[in-house]
Structure 1
């Protein structure tokens, strides 16, 4: 039953988030060096009194188990703490940097996954021909080229060919729609290309397998149009591994966006995480990584539900 599947996935989600929260909490505290001394050393003279005051304010003078329980309990109530430097709520800091990353991720995933289906189907239909070989070579190249390197090359080429084209920084869509899309073109291409290359090869393989099944031969024998055979009968079964891979790639896309954001000077979660790690801003690092993980887990949760809708056998 679908309800049983939903309940099982919710339990899995809770267990994964619990495990990730423990790992993040412990790993940050295992980083070599005194985090309190590093925090104070950037802005003030490091004295035992100042270190003790900050350690008490952050709760670092308590046992680890108590620290975790206090932090996890507050997080469950929506309180992710306050930034050590700005004093602002961590949730506000994350929301401020979330939208650029979310926009970049959605655009890249929409373009990469959206083009992968027709490209993969075309590769399957042209199997063994020159066009299929050329597209497969292009897909392999797209998988091997790092996104950050591709971004740097595109910035250099654009500086030569169109110096007036704005490719760095970020402008909110609500403020300047044209400027926003203009600045998102290159980073979106840099992130979408590996997704397109990966998923198109997956769709091609799944389509070739589906097109060789008996029910496809039966549909063709009954005189069904080739377009109907490919896009209605074969594609539905080929989408099962595709949907699963999209959920997995979303998590990697969030990770890849961190580097690409640095290349294109986009003030997203990637730059926020890197800055927080460098400053040993415990509350901000913990909350940001937890939010990114929550996004990844929720995406895979929705993919599991969609998987159950596509393949009725999963519901049982």
Structure 2
């Protein structure tokens, strides 16, 4: 059964990721205990040993990992070394801005990619197609962080009253929230839009050259029916696959965009935790983001059967 097999794959992947994250975090240069003691405290071997014992860093790495992963399985993500708060609470307080940024970026990129890709396929070889393809290539090659900085600069010159930095919760002020999220969403969605529109164009060109399309044309079917009813349906499978993969990459890209636009999401949380060597917080945050990436692709696999019944679930 696909569900049992995919769930097993999910468990194996997350187990491997947890080991890698746990090991790599401890390879970051710097001593977490020395950082926690601070520059104004005399750092002595006794103080270091006392603090290591209190937070459990004096135990073997295998023991530390087993204790951590056992807590994760039971829903306990650990305690922040700096604030003393549960890691789950720290993540929950910063989760919504990242989810909103990612979701809105995926929505903008995926929704606009379909009509743009179809237009490029129908206008193949024409000036409009060439111009849109050049724009798509530019969207793929321009770094998002650079584009964000330039966008902030230009907006401050042309629309000085437009707020593009910081974050306001949606339910606190919906209009202010959407205004502040507009620019980071566009910046984050642009590479995805460029990639997906080129993919749709390629898939549509392949579909429009099939025999069943020529048959539909010979029977007098309209252009809109041929493009959006027949050809697009077959072009959706690689499109949805790419949407699932791109969503995972957008979660990673959101970390950078949040820094550029001062959005208090998981990006700021994990980067601050890395600089502080806050092991439990870093481990749990990366594990949450990885789980989200794997789950999105799991859902994509399930959607295949609804798009094309010929695809069997093995």
TM-score (norm 1): 0.96
State the distance in 2 between where 1:57 and 1:223 align. Answer: 78
In 2, the alpha carbon distance for the partners of 1:191 and 1:310 equals: 27
**For residue 242 of structure 2, what is the aligned residue in structure 1?**
245
Any conservation in 2 of the 1:169–1:266 contact (CA below 8 Å)?
yes
| Corresponding residue to 1:187 among 176, 184, 188 | 184
Structure 2 CA distance for partners of 1:27 and 1:263, relative to 1, 3 Å:
same
Structure 2 residues not aligned, in runs of 5+ = none
Alignment of 1:152-301 (within 5 A): 152-301=149-298
Offset, 1:141: 0.9
Residues in 2 aligned to 1:131 and 1:85: alpha-carbon distance in whole angstroms: 55
- Report matched runs for 1:114-125 at 5 Å: 114-125=111-122
Residue of structure 2 in register with 1:92 after alignment: 89
1:78 aligns with 2:75: yes
Q: Show the counterpart of 2:311.
A: 313
- Equivalences for residues 128-167 of structure 1 within 5 A: 128-167=125-164
Query: Could you tell me how far apart the structure 2 residues matched to 1:125 and 1:78 are?
Result: 51
**For the Cα contact (< 8 Å) 1:169–1:183, is it kept in 2?**
yes
Q: May I ask how many residue pairs the two structures share in their alignment?
A: 313
1:26 aligns to what? 23
CA distance in 2, matches of 1:58, 1:289: 21
Per the alignment, in what secondary structure is the counterpart of residue 313 of structure 1?
coil
**Which deviates more from structure 2 when the two are superposed, residues 303-312 or residues 251-260?**
303-312
Decide whether aligned partners of structure 1 residues 77 and 151 sit closer, same or farther in structure 2, where only a CA change above 3 A counts: same
Work out which of the residue numbers 64, 87, 110 in structure 2 matches 1:67. 64
Using structure 2 for the length normalisation, give the TM-score. Answer: 0.96
CA change 1:55–1:209 in 2 (3 A) is same
Match of 2:44 among 43, 47, 55: 47
Gap runs ≥5 in structure 1: none
* Partner Cα separation in structure 2 for residue 236 and residue 132 of structure 1: 22
8 Å CA contact 1:107, 1:188 repeated in 2: yes
Counterpart secondary structure, 1:87: coil
Distance 2:261 2:105 in 1: 15
The two structures, once aligned, show a CA RMSD in angstroms of 1.3
Q: 5, 8, 17: which is aligned to 2:5?
A: 8
8 Å CA contact retained: 1:17, 1:294? yes
With over 3 angstroms needed to count, the CA separation of the structure-2 counterparts of 1:92 and 1:79, relative to structure 1, is same
Deviations 1:32-56 (A, max 9, x none): 3332222222574323233223212
Instruction: Verify the 8 A CA contact 1:39 1:281 in the aligned structure 2.
Output: no
Question: For 1:124-161, what per-residue CA distance to the aligned partner results, in whole angstroms no more than 9, with x for missing partners?
Answer: 11111111111111111111111111111111111111
Deviation at 1:212, TM superposition (A): 0.6
CA distance in 2, matches of 1:302, 1:29: 33
CA shift, 1:272, in A, is 0.5
